[in-house]
């Protein structure tokens, strides 16, 4: 693997680390080491890295800010590429913006408010990045990415890239074409926003941030919502009705604040969290005959 590292450094793709603990890069603070961990310094650096990895038949996984992610304690074999600094560019052109896949949602919502641009208020308090948000059509408070995306610049697993329109992304509830039909990753995106009053935008952002702070356990390491809502029911409500809030296995606990959150209470393992996920699935199926589907991405 050191030879691969040397090749990547020779190409100056960005930061390259061996056996990097992935719990340092997930909000739930769980995850074993990646054989190879790469933070590309640019889109060109990303493409160079992919070329080297493909030439050497190294398996590839991609992560963002780790806010909707669960990684095994055994870690990830092959290379893990993180979209972050280097893929966090932002260009504002009137009421349209071009933004890199590594740009944090919370920061973007705050920055564009200065230009009196409205459309990302729903993202206030969502601790993810643009790439992940497009991938899963992130949303809240009655809006989501599909409402504002014009097109997405997609990188496929074979190293090719393509711009996909909103229609081609085939958005649905917490879904996009990138999850199955066209497996790939959003490296940048163009959004159509609207001019609005700055104070109104800031007030809306604050309202959503306050709501998340008051109703979700972000003061503990967690991975965000564990399940998609089986509409018209809500996952957290089902968990509460089953009396599972506060239930703990090992170091992982179903949040007492919100039933659709599992928190890392005390050095929780991947297997602790998966056991709680299975418990919820089994009990919801037994009592309500509902198949629960995870929203959190499990590598």
Q: Which residues are catalytic?
A: 174, 225, 295
Radius of gyration of the chain measured on its C-alpha atoms: 19
The Cβ-side half-sphere exposure at 61, using a 13 Å CA radius, reads 21
**CA angle, 122 as apex, 117 and 128 as ends, to 5°?**
100
CA-closest candidate to residue 253, choices 285, 212, 221, 230? 221
Spatial neighbors of 167 by CB under 8 A, at least 6 apart, are: none
Structure tokens at 210: 């306050």
Residue 279 Cα to chain centre, angstroms: 24
- First-to-last alpha carbon distance for the chain, in angstroms, is 21
For residue 193, the surrounding DSSP H or E stretch is none
Neighbours of 229 (CB within 10 A): 18
Residue (of 103, 125, 91) closest to 193 by Cα position: 91
Partners of 238 in the beta sheet?
none
Q: Is the dihedral of CA 224, 264, 251, 31 positive or negative?
A: positive
> Which position has the token pair 């497009």?
134
Give the Cα-Cα-Cα angle 126, 132, 135 (nearest 5 degrees).
125
Paired with 298 in beta bridges are: 70
């Amino acid at each position: 693997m050191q030879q691969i590292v040397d090749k990547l450094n020779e190409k100056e793709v960005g930061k390259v680390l061996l056996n990097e603990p992935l719990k340092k890069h997930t909000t739930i603070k769980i995850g074993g080491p990646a054989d190879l961990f790469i933070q590309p310094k640019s889109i060109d650096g990303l493409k160079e890295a992919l070329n080297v990895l493909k030439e050497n038949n190294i398996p590839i996984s991609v992560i963002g800010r780790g806010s909707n992610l669960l990684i095994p304690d055994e870690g990830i074999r092959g290379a893990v590429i993180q979209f972050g600094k280097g893929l966090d560019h932002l260009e504002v052109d009137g009421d349209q913006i071009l933004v890199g896949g590594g740009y944090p949602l919370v920061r973007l919502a705050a920055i564009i408010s200065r230009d009196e641009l409205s459309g990302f208020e729903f993202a206030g308090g969502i601790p993810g990045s643009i790439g992940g948000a497009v991938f899963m059509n992130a949303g809240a408070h009655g809006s989501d990415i599909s409402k504002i995306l014009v097109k997405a610049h997609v990188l496929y697993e074979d190293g090719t890239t393509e711009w996909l329109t909103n229609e081609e992304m085939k958005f649905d509830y917490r879904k996009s074409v990138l999850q199955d039909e066209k497996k790939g990753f959003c490296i940048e995106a163009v959004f159509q926003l609207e001019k609005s009053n700055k104070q109104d935008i800031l007030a809306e952002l604050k309202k959503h941030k306050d709501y998340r702070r008051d109703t979700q356990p972000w003061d503990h390491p967690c991975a965000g919502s564990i399940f998609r809502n089986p509409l018209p029911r809500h996952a957290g409500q089902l968990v509460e009705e089953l009396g599972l809030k506060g239930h703990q296995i090992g170091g992982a606990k179903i949040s007492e604040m919100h039933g659709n959150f599992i928190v890392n209470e005390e050095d929780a393992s991947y297997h602790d969290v998966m056991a709680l996920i299975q418990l919820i699935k089994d009990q919801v199926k037994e009592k309500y005959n509902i198949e629960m589907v995870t929203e959190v991405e499990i590598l």
